[in-house]
Amino acid sequence: MITIEQIKQLREETGASPVKIKKALEESGEDVQKAKELLKSWGAVKAGEKSDRETNDGLIDFYVHPNAKSGVLLDIRCETDFVAKNPDFKNLAHEVCLQIAALNPETVEALLAQPWVKDESKTIKSLVEEATAKIGEKIEINKFTRYEI
């Protein structure tokens, strides 16, 4: 029997809707770990379905290291201004800025392939795909610049 605790746990870990969580738990035989993997795979499918959409909105985010010797400017795109103002989208932008500051990738492609500094089991690409699935719009990193003195 699926419990509220299982749904709460998966909701906190994945951000998926309770309906999708319930479906994943049913399909996984109520195995929370398998349900989490199912939700992730569905997120990747959802991100793929949105790949042909245009990203005409977004934001410019920045990060300056506390020593003021390095910083990052990031151009991250989404489909609507509504999502550009969304706290989850802004948090993703901040996490990507921190990643760029820490590992200094040369290109967007190199950035997307990097393991995330906060959880090396995920890449930046998978982080963007998870945000796309959660938010419901195509998200893409357009460009970035890292400065260092």
pLDDT tens for the chain, 149 residues long, are 889 899 888 887 777 778 888 888 999 999 999 988 888 777 644 555 556 778 899 999 999 999 999 999 999 999 999 999 999 999 999 999 999 999 999 999 999 999 999 999 999 999 999 898 888 899 999 999 999 99
The predicted structure's pLDDT at residue 50: 58
Residue whose structure tokens are 């989208």: 89
Report CA Rg, the chain.
17
Task: Show the domains of the chain with their CATH numbers.
Answer: 4-49 (1.10.8), 57-148 (3.30.479.20)
Q: pTM (2 decimals)?
A: 0.69
